[in-house]
Amino acid sequence: MSTAEHAETNRRDFLYIATGAVGAVGVALTAWPFINQMNPDASVLALASVEVDLAPIAEGQEITIKWRGNPVFIRHRLAAEIEAANKVAVTDLKDPLARNANLPDSDPATDANRVVGGKEQFLVMMGVCTHLGCVPIGNEGEYAVVEGNTKHGGWFCPCHGSQYDTAGRIRKGPAPENLAVPQYAYLSDTKIRIG
């Protein structure tokens, strides 16, 4: 191969590599807006965590807040609700796992593992039925505690009949899992941060 032919080969190789590099950069620049639009917008990022003051929630009362577009139930449970939840053996549960984002995945669904920080009076969990994503109704179902004519705790999903006990554990119906407990932590005795 002569020097002229060798120079021509090197020039051709350089042109192929340069053209490929410019093409790759062009594809990346063209694709970036489509990839970037899949990122969450500012309103979702602002809700990445939310603080909730528990002090105004009276014993036996439940509030629902929105977090990341989903309902979160926060219930100040009565002693009778906690006692009813503690009486249930994990082996009697349809889903034996705690489903608590604050604990290891394999932890059992005891009442103590469904709350955080040893504050069993406050139950915080996602208000989304694990069957088809409906929102269960509070203070309903066979597993609510009845005092007089009033039901306390327990959740019933009217769409397909799933029933959850006073710790948010699935007891009856088609739902396969307990209501999920989100990541949360106590900032003080009466304030939590979810997320």
C-alpha 95/C-alpha 102 separation (Å) is: 18
Q: How confident is the model at residue 68 (pLDDT cuts 50, 70, 90)?
A: confident
Would residue 160 show up in a list of annotated catalytic residues for this protein? yes
CA-based nearest residue to 165, from 136, 139, 182, 144: 144
Among 2.60.40.420, 3.90.1010.10, 2.102.10.10, 3.90.70.10, name the CATH number for the domain at 45-194.
2.102.10.10
This prediction has a pTM of: 0.74
pLDDT of residue 24: 85
Which ranges constitute the DSSP H helices of the chain? 3-36, 42-46, 79-86
pLDDT of residue 181: 96
Could you say which of 76, 131, 152, 160 is catalytic?
160
Token digits of residue 53? 């003051």
Domain boundaries, the chain: 1-39, 45-194
Q: How confident is the model at residue 69 (pLDDT cuts 50, 70, 90)?
A: confident
Average pLDDT over residues 71-84: 94
pLDDT of residue 18: 84
pLDDT of residue 17: 87
Q: How confident is the model at residue 9 (pLDDT cuts 50, 70, 90)?
A: low
Q: How confident is the model at residue 14 (pLDDT cuts 50, 70, 90)?
A: confident
Of 121 and 11, more confident: 121
pLDDT of residue 3: 59
Q: What is the end-to-end Cα distance of the chain in Å, rounded?
A: 68
C-alpha 132/C-alpha 135 separation (Å) is: 9
Q: How confident is the model at residue 41 (pLDDT cuts 50, 70, 90)?
A: low
C-alpha 117/C-alpha 186 separation (Å) is: 7
